[in-house]
Structure 1
Amino acid sequence: MTAQSPQRSVPGEHPEWLWGEPDPKRSYDAIVIGGGGHGLATAYYLAKNHGLTNIAILEKGWLAGGNMARNTTIIRSNYLWDESAAIYEHALQLWEQLPAELDYDFLFSQRGVLNLAHSLQDVRDSVRRVEANRLNGVDAEFLTPEEVAKICPIVNISPDVRYPVLGATFQPRAGIAKHDHVAWAFARACDAMGVDIIQNCEVTGFVKDGDRVTGVETTRGRILSDTVGMVAAGHSSVLAQKAGVRLPVQSHPLQALVSELYEPVHPTVVMSNYVHVYVSQAHKGELVMGAGVDQYNGYGQRGSFHVIEHQMAAALELFPIFSRAHLLRTWGGIVDVCPDASPIIGATPVEGLYVNAGWGTGGFKATPAAGWVMAHAMATGEAHELGAPFGLERFSTGHLIDEHGAAGVAH
Structure 2
Amino acid sequence: MTRPTPRTPGAELPKHPTHLWNSPEPRRHYDVVVVGGGGHGLATAYYLVKNHGITDVAVIERGWLAGGNMARNTTIIRSNYLWDESSNFYDHALDLWEGLEDDLEYPILFSQRGVLNLAHTLQDVRDSRRRVEANRLNRVDAEWVDADGVKEICPIVNTSDDIRYPVLGATYQPSAGIAKHDYVAWGFARKAAEAGVHLIQDTQVTGFLTEGDRVTGVRTSRGDIGAGRVALAAAGRTATLTDELGIRIPIQSHPLQALVSELLEPVHPTVVMSNAVHVYVSQAHKGELVMGAGVDAFNGFGQRGPFHIIERQMAAAVELFPVFARAHLLRTWGGVVDVTPDASPIVGLTPYENLFLNCGWGTGGFKATPGIGDTFAHTVATGTPHPLVAPFALDRFVSGRLVDEHGAAAVAH
**Normalising by the residue count of structure 1, what TM-score does the alignment of the two structures yield?**
0.96
Check conservation: 2:14, 2:107, Cα contact below 8 A. no
Check conservation: 1:112, 1:170, Cα contact below 8 A. yes
Q: Please give the secondary structure, in 2, of the residue aligned with 1:29.
A: strand
**Deviation per CA, 1:138-196, whole angstroms, max 9, x where unpaired?**
10000011111111000000011111100000000000000000000000110111111
Please show how residues 267-306 of structure 1 align to structure 2 within 5 Å. Answer: 267-306=269-308
Equivalent AA in structure 2 for residue 185 of structure 1: G
Q: Does 1:236 align with 2:248?
A: no
Check conservation: 1:78, 1:407, Cα contact below 8 A. no
Q: CA deviation at 1:303?
A: 1.1
Check conservation: 1:272, 1:408, Cα contact below 8 A. no
Q: Which structure 1 segments of 5+ residues have no match?
A: 10-15
Q: Determine the structure 2 residue equivalent to 1:254.
A: 256
Q: Determine the structure 2 residue equivalent to 1:333.
A: 335
For residues 78 and 104 of structure 1, what CA distance do their matches in structure 2 show? 27
Equivalent AA in structure 2 for residue 224 of structure 1: G
For residues 294 and 238 of structure 2, what CA distance do their matches in structure 1 show? 20
Q: Determine the structure 2 residue equivalent to 1:13.
A: none
Q: Please give the secondary structure, in 1, of the residue aligned with 2:86.
A: helix
Q: Determine the structure 2 residue equivalent to 1:65.
A: 67
Q: CA deviation at 1:240?
A: 1.5
For residues 6 and 140 of structure 1, what CA distance do their matches in structure 2 show? 32
Q: Please give the secondary structure, in 2, of the residue aligned with 1:346.
A: strand
For residues 407 and 199 of structure 1, what CA distance do their matches in structure 2 show? 32
**Aligned equivalent of 2:345, options 328, 343, 346:** 343
Equivalent AA in structure 2 for residue 358 of structure 1: G
For residues 368 and 133 of structure 1, what CA distance do their matches in structure 2 show? 21
Please show how residues 4-403 of structure 1 align to structure 2 within 5 Å. Answer: 6-7=14-15, 17-403=19-405
For residues 228 and 215 of structure 2, what CA distance do their matches in structure 1 show? 6
For residues 110 and 242 of structure 1, what CA distance do their matches in structure 2 show? 42
Q: Which structure 2 segments of 5+ residues have no match?
A: 1-12
Q: CA deviation at 1:366?
A: 0.4
For residues 378 and 176 of structure 2, what CA distance do their matches in structure 1 show? 26
Aligned residue pairs, count? 401
Q: Please give the secondary structure, in 1, of the residue aligned with 2:34.
A: strand
**Deviation per CA, 1:307-365, whole angstroms, max 9, x where unpaired?**
11110110011000111011111100000000000000011111110110000000000
Q: Determine the structure 1 residue equivalent to 2:8.
A: none
Q: CA deviation at 1:276?
A: 1.1
Q: CA deviation at 1:410?
A: 2.1
Q: CA deviation at 1:278?
A: 0.2
For residues 226 and 76 of structure 1, what CA distance do their matches in structure 2 show? 35
Q: Determine the structure 2 residue equivalent to 1:12.
A: none
Q: Please give the secondary structure, in 1, of the residue aligned with 2:189.
A: helix
Check conservation: 2:24, 2:199, Cα contact below 8 A. yes
Check conservation: 2:363, 2:409, Cα contact below 8 A. no
For residues 136 and 336 of structure 1, what CA distance do their matches in structure 2 show? 27
Q: Please give the secondary structure, in 2, of the residue aligned with 1:399.
A: coil
Off by >3 Å, runs of 4+ in structure 1: 5-9
Check conservation: 2:257, 2:335, Cα contact below 8 A. yes
For residues 336 and 409 of structure 1, what CA distance do their matches in structure 2 show? 14
For residues 355 and 103 of structure 1, what CA distance do their matches in structure 2 show? 29
Q: Please give the secondary structure, in 2, of the residue aligned with 1:225.
A: strand
Q: Please give the secondary structure, in 1, of the residue aligned with 2:314.
A: helix
Q: CA deviation at 1:407?
A: 4.5
**Deviation per CA, 1:167-226, whole angstroms, max 9, x where unpaired?**
000000000000000000000110111111011111011000011000011111110012
User: For the aligned residues, what is the CA RMSD?
Assistant: 1.1
For residues 298 and 335 of structure 2, what CA distance do their matches in structure 1 show? 13
Q: Please give the secondary structure, in 1, of the residue aligned with 2:293.
A: strand
For residues 407 and 19 of structure 1, what CA distance do their matches in structure 2 show? 35
Q: Please give the secondary structure, in 1, of the residue aligned with 2:64.
A: coil
Q: CA deviation at 1:63?
A: 0.4
Equivalent AA in structure 1 for residue 403 of structure 2: I
For residues 204 and 223 of structure 1, what CA distance do their matches in structure 2 show? 11
For residues 54 and 33 of structure 1, what CA distance do their matches in structure 2 show? 14
Identity between Structure 1 and Structure 2 (%): 69
Q: Please give the secondary structure, in 2, of the residue aligned with 1:395.
A: helix
Equivalent AA in structure 2 for residue 74 of structure 1: I
Q: Please give the secondary structure, in 1, of the residue aligned with 2:26.
A: coil
